[in-house]
């Protein structure tokens, strides 16, 4: 299990995903349509949120702000982004996304050997500023999926970006899992992305999460999942049950029932 990826893998994937997102936005005819039945956002709100994120990441890299230590606090951050949009013209917002992302990627490209760490409120672990691009890639990927469904457009989730999205999420999940309410059984889970050599081990002990521990017990649950489905499940866009019934995922081990409850242990990273 390779624990590192080149920063340029993240940069290239972020640039390609952003271009696909911008191309999608160019085809929007009615930006005021509802994003979905479950969302209070319009398509324009969603585009504005995504367009605002590279600037927020720049502030995180520069230490001007920090990640909240609870995922639920992101909702307020996103609401303020949408309320303070400089425009609701989705095409201008797409230009903002491209321009701010270029600035962010240029900054990441020129990091030295010591990569800056984004702070997390009240937590000493922090988030590497290069692999944090995986979270941004996931955001563009998932919200591209949301917008495409709303406007009836085609959107392909690139399976190659799934490992980058997962590694980006790993930066925040242990902290946010520690702050979840409710109890869960101790368990060790191994997730495999089909068609890749990516395997991730999640060890839950006394309410704490450790990812890819050096030593761990034999997994109680193994999950094999198509990479694109893994991203959608991780962001709450596909239920684990649906993935299992349609063959996008397969679960086995001594506690296969954990598969349908696992996603609840991962605080969502998005609205």
Domain boundary among 158, 190, 222: 158
Number of structural domains found in the chain: 2
Output the pLDDT for position 48: 98
Structural domain containing residue 91 = 7-158
Residues 139 and 185 in one domain: no
User: For residues 236 and 161, is the Cβ–Cβ distance under 8 A?
Assistant: no
Residues 126 and 210 in one domain: no
In a domain, 60, yes or no: yes
Specify the pTM.
0.94
Residues 34 and 114 in one domain: yes
Residues 81 and 119 in one domain: yes
In the chain, what are the helix, strand and coil shares in percent, each to the nearest 5? 50, 15, 35
User: How confident is the chain (271 residues) per 10-residue block, as mean pLDDT?
Assistant: 76 98 97 94 98 98 95 94 97 98 97 94 93 97 97 95 95 86 81 93 91 91 96 92 95 91 71 52
In a domain, 151, yes or no: yes
User: For residues 67 and 121, is the Cβ–Cβ distance under 8 A?
Assistant: yes
In a domain, 172, yes or no: no
What's 99's domain CATH number? 1.20.120.450
Quote the tokens at residue 175: 């902290």
What's 193's domain CATH number? 3.30.1050.10
User: For residues 202 and 170, is the Cβ–Cβ distance under 8 A?
Assistant: no
Residues 20 and 65 in one domain: yes
Domain boundary among 105, 128, 158: 158
């Amino acid at each position: 299990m390779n624990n590192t990826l080149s920063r340029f893998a993240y940069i290239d994937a972020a640039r390609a995903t952003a271009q696909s997102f911008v191309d999608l936005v160019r085809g929007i005819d009615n930006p005021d349509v509802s994003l979905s039945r479950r969302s209070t956002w319009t398509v324009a709100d969603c585009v504005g949120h995504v367009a605002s994120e590279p600037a927020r990441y720049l502030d995180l890299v520069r230490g001007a702000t920090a990640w909240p230590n609870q995922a639920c606090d992101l909702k307020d951050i996103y609401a303020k982004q949408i309320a303070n949009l400089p425009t609701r013209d989705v095409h201008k917002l797409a230009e903002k996304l491209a321009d701010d992302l270029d600035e962010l990627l240029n900054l990441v490209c020129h990091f030295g050997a010591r990569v800056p760490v984004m702070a997390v409120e009240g937590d000493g672990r922090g988030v590497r500023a290069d692999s944090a691009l995986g979270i941004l890639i996931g955001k563009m990927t998932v919200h591209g999926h949301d917008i495409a469904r709303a406007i009836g457009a085609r959107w392909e989730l690139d399976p190659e970006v799934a490992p980058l999205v997962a590694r980006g999420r790993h930066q925040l999940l242990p902290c946010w899992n520690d702050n979840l309410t409710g109890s869960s059984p101790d368990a060790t889970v191994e997730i495999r992305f089909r068609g890749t050599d990516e395997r991730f081990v999640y060890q839950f002990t006394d309410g704490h999460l450790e990812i890819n521990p050096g030593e761990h017990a034999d997994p109680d649950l193994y999950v094999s999942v198509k990479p694109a489905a893994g991203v959608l499940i991780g962001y709450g866009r596909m239920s684990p049950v649906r993935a299992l019934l349609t063959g996008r995922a397969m679960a086995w081990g001594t506690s296969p029932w954990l598969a349908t409850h696992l996603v609840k242990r991962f605080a969502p990273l998005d609205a």
